[in-house]
Amino acid sequence: MKIVERRFVRQVPVSEAVGWWNQWDHEHTMVVHGESWLEGRLLYEDERTCIAFVTIRVPIFSFLTSTAMNVNLKYDAHTMYTINLGLFGIPSITKITIEEDPPDHITHRTTYTFFLRGWRRLLAPLLPSMMARWNERVWQEDLPLKLRRQKMLRHGFRDFVGMPEKIADRRYDGPLECRLPIKRLPDSPIEKDRLLG
């Protein structure tokens, strides 16, 4: 078996809570990443697991689409894994770590590992550039969300409420948290499609 690995390391001035929110907010994917993320069907989710069918447009070969089953695991406070079986039937594992130091500044590491058997070994030279393109696109599309959410949370924004009424309350210096699963309305499109549970 041939193993192909590609790693991306980024720095961004947001809290770890915002970093994880972006990873686990499944609802934004088809709106913000709609060019490449065509469908998402949530099968199951709890405080550390999410199982979903996703259909993406294949990077570089954009005339191709690929449906995959993703299993996301929040392994510990700073690590998650996505186990994926989809693109050309290739199993892969994506490891994401987010570490906050100093406060409101994170190092975000993504490592893609592909396990290639048989004819799929022929794809080995293509995968690094495909993943570079995918990662860069998704990162750039997500970046303004993270920066804006961080700013608003530091101005006292509360999910499903908005900005505080009093100007004096529009400042928050305390710890930020990301509780999983991310809260959604009962009529969220992604909830309507839930297949299990």
DSSP 133: H
**Alpha carbons 172 and 158: distance in angstroms, whole number:** 11
**Alpha carbons 98 and 117: distance in angstroms, whole number:** 31
Nearest distance from residue 163's CB to other proteins, in Å?
Answer: 5
Nearest to 112 by CA among 133, 186, 178, 44: 133
**Alpha carbons 142 and 33: distance in angstroms, whole number:** 8
Nearest distance from residue 39's CB to other proteins, in Å?
Answer: 15
Q: Which amino acid is at 31?
A: V
* Binding mask of the shown chain, residues 113 to 152, with x at each position contacting other proteins by CB under 8 A: -------------------------------xx--xx--x
Nearest distance from residue 81's CB to other proteins, in Å?
Answer: 24
Whose Cβ is closer to other proteins: residue 9's or residue 165's?
165
**Alpha carbons 189 and 70: distance in angstroms, whole number:** 18
Q: Is 185 in the site for other proteins (CB under 8 A)?
A: yes
Q: Are strands 37-45 and 79-85 parallel, antiparallel or unpaired?
A: unpaired
Of residues 6 through 25, those in contact with other proteins by CB under 8 A are 21, 25
Q: Is 165 in the site for other proteins (CB under 8 A)?
A: yes
Q: Which residues bind other proteins (CB under 8 A)?
A: 21, 25, 27-28, 31-32, 144-145, 148-149, 152-153, 155-157, 159-163, 165-168, 170-171, 185-188
